[in-house]
Structure formats: structure tokens, C-alpha cells
């Protein structure tokens, strides 16, 4: 990490960070098809995002295309994966080995995108001492000890909402720098702590509403 150039860590706008993985998956598909070069115009056609927007987003990645040829696909993939943090392994602890927590422990895809959950914590005696997806589950009171042992910056929060804030406070007090919050609870953290909210249930609510809107409109037509 210390050898990485500083310019990689400028604060990139969130919409850009959300679009870059689209470009990555698109150019990966082109590589599978044997292509060697790609232009922003071509990516634009494939995924229906404005070509100038794509060029602007890619300018953050410090990879430059060549006139008429475009971007070298292999170089672009490597630059994107590195830029997005998928090639550096980031260690994480998971808090709350309930249904969603265990589901995440079983998802090997996270590992492929740079997240390695090295331990989970729970208070349920039926879970403590077991493993899910190769990840050991410890009692929550062992967190401080494991924190001293392993260098971990990221905490994945999958506890019930009734203890979401309390566990967050303990994580932060123990030295966690970023919380990936899967609960539908809006946690509060000190300013220097990163929070990424991923509430599957909020996404469900948006999808249900859109689906019902379409139904209503169809009935009206």
C-alpha cells in the first residue's frame, strides 16, 4: 500500500466509482471475445452511457487511450481493477453471523473483489467456535484481542438493528476505520470513519414501488 502513488487516492465522485465497474465488466467481456482495443464510443454503445461521460470517468484512472485505436483492453482492465481496489486484499471482520452475515461469509465473490473477511463475531453460543465458508466465528468479547492480532480496517455490520449502533461504537473504539453497513439502521460515526450503506431491504422497497407503479399504469391504459 505504501508504494502506491498518492494520486490514486484522490476523492473520486461516487457516481464515477459506481460506473467504473460497469466499464470493467464490459471490457472483460470484450477480452473474452478476443478483442485487444476498445474505444469509449464502443463501451458507450454497449452500456448506454454517454461516451464523453465514460472518457471523463476514465480520466480519473490515469489510463490514456490512443487516437483511432482507443484503450488497450488488457491495460485498461488492470488499471481499473487496481484503481477500484480489487487487486489489493482488504482484511475485514464481520459482526453478526445471522442469516445475512453467514450468507456474506459464504460468498467467495467478495474475495475476488478485494475483500477478505478474516473473522466473524457473534454472541450466539451455537455459532461461536464454528466456521462458515472457512471463516472462524469468535465471541464478540474477543474482538479487541483479535484486533491486536490481525490488522483489520473494515467492519461488516450484519447485526440486528437493536444493537447496530452499540456494535458500531465498539468497532470504532477498537480501531475499525470503515463500516460496511448492511442493516437498515442509520448508524452514527465520528467524521473520520467511512460508512458504506448497503441495505438490500431499501433496494427491495424501491423495486417494489416501481413494479407497483408500472402495474397501476398498465391497468390505467
Question: What residues between 88 and 117 interact with a copy of itself by CB under 8 A?
Answer: 88, 90, 98-100, 102-104, 106-110, 113-115
Q: Identify which of residues 130 and 199 has a Cβ nearer to a copy of itself in the complex.
A: 199
- Nearest 5°: the CA angle 47, 22, 63 is 105
The only residue of 51, 55, 84, 147 in contact with a copy of itself, by rule CB under 8 A: 84
Residue 75 CA: distances (Å) to CA of 28, 38, 81, 87? 11, 11, 10, 14
Decide whether 21 or 70 has the Cβ nearer to a copy of itself. 21
Contact status, residue 104 vs residue 55, Cβ threshold 8 Å: no
Q: Give the number of other Cβ atoms within 10 Å of residue 206's Cβ.
A: 9
**In this structure, how many other beta carbons lie within 10 angstroms of the beta carbon of residue 83?**
19
Between 74 and 116, CB nearer to a copy of itself: 116
CA dist., res. 151 & res. 149, Å (int): 7
Q: Is 211 in the site for a copy of itself (CB under 8 A)?
A: yes
41 binds a copy of itself (CB under 8 A): no
Residues 113-142 that bind a copy of itself (CB under 8 A): 113-115
Q: Quick one: 57 exposed, middle or buried, by C-beta within 10 A (0-12, 13-18, 19+)? A: buried
Exactly one of 11, 65, 95, 152 binds a copy of itself (CB under 8 A); that residue is 11
Only segment of 46-54, 64-72, 118-126, 144-152 that touches a copy of itself (CB under 8 A): 46-54
CB of 67 to a copy of itself, least distance (A): 26
Amino acid at each position: 500500500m505504501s508504494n502506491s502513488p498518492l494520486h490514486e487516492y484522490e476523492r473520486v465522485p461516487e457516481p464515477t466509482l459506481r460506473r467504473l465497474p460497469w466499464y470493467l465488466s464490459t471490457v472483460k467481456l470484450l477480452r473474452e471475445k478476443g478483442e485487444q482495443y476498445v474505444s469509449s464510443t464502443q463501451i458507450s454503445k454497449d452500456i448506454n452511457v454517454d461516451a464523453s461521460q465514460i472518457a471523463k470517468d476514465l480520466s480519473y484512472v490515469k489510463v490514456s487511450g490512443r487516437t483511432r485505436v482507443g484503450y488497450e483492453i488488457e491495460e485498461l482492465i488492470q488499471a481499473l481493477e487496481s484503481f477500484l481496489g480489487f487487486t489489493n486484499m482488504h482484511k475485514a471482520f464481520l459482526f453478526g453471523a445471522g442469516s445475512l452475515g453467514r450468507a456474506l461469509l459464504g460468498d467467495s465473490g467478495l474475495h475476488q473483489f478485494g475483500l477478505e473477511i478474516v473473522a466473524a463475531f457473534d454472541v450466539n453460543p451455537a455459532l461461536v467456535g464454528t466456521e462458515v465458508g472457512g471463516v472462524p466465528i469468535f465471541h464478540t468479547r474477543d474482538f479487541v484481542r483479535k484486533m491486536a492480532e490481525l490488522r483489520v480496517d473494515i467492519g461488516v455490520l450484519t447485526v440486528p438493528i437493536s444493537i447496530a449502533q452499540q456494535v458500531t461504537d465498539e468497532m470504532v473504539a477498537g480501531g475499525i476505520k470503515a463500516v460496511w453497513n448492511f442493516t437498515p439502521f442509520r448508524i452514527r460515526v465520528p467524521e473520520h470513519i467511512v460508512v458504506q450503506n448497503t441495505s438490500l431491504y431499501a433496494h427491495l422497497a424501491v423495486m417494489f414501488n416501481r413494479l407497483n407503479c408500472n402495474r397501476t399504469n398498465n391497468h390505467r391504459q
